[in-house]
Amino acid sequence: MKRVNGHEILTLFEQWSPKRFAENWDPIGLHIGQLNRPVEKVLITLDVNEAVVDEAIEKGANLIIAHHPPIFSPLKHIWTDTPQGRLIEKCIKHDISVYAAHTNLDVAPGGVNDLLASRLGLADIEVMEPTISDPLYKLAVFCPVEQADELRRVLARSGAGAIGDYAGCSFTSTGTGRFTPSAGADPFIGEVGKLEEVTEERIEVVLPGPLRSKVLKAMLAAHPYEEPAYDFFILDQRTEEFGLGRVGKLPEAMELKEFAQFVKKVLDVPAVRIVGDASKSVRKVAVLGGSGSKYIRAAKRKGADVFVTGDMDFHSAQDAELMDLAIVDPGHHVEKVMIEGVARYMEQACLKKGYDVSFIESQIDTEPFRFV
């Protein structure tokens, strides 16, 4: 097993939940500490408060991955006789780093919203509100026939040619390449000053924009030629869309009041608020972790019968009622599903890499609301 530092762990995490998925107002990333120190235990939590930091100290975790950013607005000072100042002081004194993955983890496939959709047992899941899609590129590279198989393998390993559920997609055509090596060249085929003709393959692969430099680097490293010939094209197509919230279907329709009881049970909350006729039949469900008041129209546009989200405000609830969109509000804290979700995902990812690190699920209840 390999000893690792925070940077290596979070590089793996960001392959799943990249920073570019975050909304631009969202202060995600490293909040406190540094990532160059060795890490053996990581504490996963929804929120960071002093009790969570104490838990990290007690359990020997020196990296905390949280969903809610602990420093949301820029600080003008760190006064250690205030709760937030004390929290920062405690983290620094105990060499504990804190990293936040917020809207990027909401958007990530398998992240907060998918975890909620899966708890609700939804099928045929789609994104509710697309926020990001990447431009698609095509790489065409010319290579001697004998080396083409190896180059196709390298391109596939670097992530090129992944289309939907298919990996390693490419197209190859054969033709003739011509070149004359000049003085100073050290050609793989041919000799200086002599026109050479080589049977070459033109390999075409598509790739999402963010992979461009990785694929190019891998191709250049694997290509036998000193000066490989290749073209990058930007296509008038984009990758699949990523976004906030999910919409899916229950296995069968149920009445709103029955669905509300089901939500209470599967999301493990003591109470929910509902909007709409309790006997309304619901089957298509929209779900968005956190505060979803702003997204009632997106849920309606997707044809949802009911929208499960937290922090529903009075006027948005009235608007939803008018548009015949039922609401089940289980509170904001149901995002706690990320604790187990992130721990399991990261355990698997680190195991595959042989990283010697364990993930601890925080046991601190950070729900501020109590029901009386």
* Interacting residues with Zn ion (CB under 5 A): 290, 335
Residue number with CB closer to Zn ion (129 or 335): 335
Torsions phi, psi for 68 (to 5 deg): -85, 125
Residue number with CB closer to Zn ion (102 or 152): 102
The nearest distance, CB 325 to Zn ion, in angstroms, is 21
Residue number with CB closer to Zn ion (8 or 335): 335
The nearest distance, CB 25 to Zn ion, in angstroms, is 14
- The CA angle 97-18-211, to the nearest 5 degrees, is 135
Residue number with CB closer to Zn ion (70 or 290): 290
The nearest distance, CB 333 to Zn ion, in angstroms, is 8
- The C-alpha atoms of residue 235 and residue 135 are separated, in whole angstroms, by 7
CB-based burial, 50-88: b 16+ in 10 Å, e otherwise:
ebbbebbbeeebbbbbbbbbbbeeeeeeeeeeeebeebb
Residue number with CB closer to Zn ion (258 or 313): 313
The nearest distance, CB 103 to Zn ion, in angstroms, is 9
Residue number with CB closer to Zn ion (102 or 223): 102
**196, 181 contact by CB (below 8 A):** yes
List residues bridging with 218 in a β-sheet. none
Q: Among 22, 242, 233, which Cα is nearest to 125's?
A: 242
The nearest distance, CB 271 to Zn ion, in angstroms, is 19
The nearest distance, CB 243 to Zn ion, in angstroms, is 16
Residue number with CB closer to Zn ion (103 or 118): 103
Residue number with CB closer to Zn ion (114 or 200): 114
The nearest distance, CB 138 to Zn ion, in angstroms, is 39
The nearest distance, CB 206 to Zn ion, in angstroms, is 35
Burial of 210 (0-12, 13-18, 19+ CB in 10 A): middle
Residue nearest to Zn ion (CB): 290
Torsions phi, psi for 205 (to 5 deg): -140, 150
- The C-alpha atoms of residue 358 and residue 362 are separated, in whole angstroms, by 13
- The C-alpha atoms of residue 235 and residue 287 are separated, in whole angstroms, by 33
- Cα–Cα distances (Å) from 113 to 31, 150, 201, 289, in that order, read 23, 39, 44, 6
Query: If you search the block for the tokens 């590279």, which residue do you land on?
Result: 141
> Listing from the earlier edge strand, what are the strands of the sheet with 326-329?
123-132, 242-255, 281-291, 306-310, 326-329, 273-275
